[in-house]
Homo-oligomer: A and B are copies of this chain.
C-alpha cells in the first residue's frame, strides 16, 4: 500500500444560500476531485455574532454546512484556486494530511 501526501479541505457555507448550490455543482461537474462529504452543523455563530441554531420550531434556519474533501496536493491546489472565486476565502480551510491510494 502507498501512503501519500494529500490536502484536506473544509469549506464553511450555510443551508439555503446560493453559493452552496454553486459550489456543489462545480465540484460535481467541473472539478477533478473524486468525491466529497457534506455535513450539517447544529449551530453556527458567525462573524456578525448572529447565532443560527436548529430548533423544532424553525428547522429551515440557515444552519452551517461544511463540504469536506481531500486529494493529491497538486489536484487540490487547482480546485482551491477556482473555489476561491465562488466562496469568500476565509470560508475555506486546508491542511496537509496522509491517505492511502
Residues of A within 8 A of B (CB): 1-3, 6, 8, 12, 27-28, 34-47, 49, 51, 64-66, 70, 84, 88-90, 92-101
A35 partner residues in chain B, CB cutoff 8 A:
44-47
In the complex the two chains form, is B94's CB within 8 Å of A90's CB?
no
Complex Cα distance, B92 from A42, in Å, reads 19
Closest to A71 in B: B90
| A interface: dominant SS | strand
Q: How far is the CB of A31 from chain B (nearest CB, A)?
A: 11
Complex Cα distance, B44 from A38, in Å, reads 6
In the complex the two chains form, is B66's CB within 8 Å of A93's CB?
no
Complex Cα distance, B96 from A6, in Å, reads 13
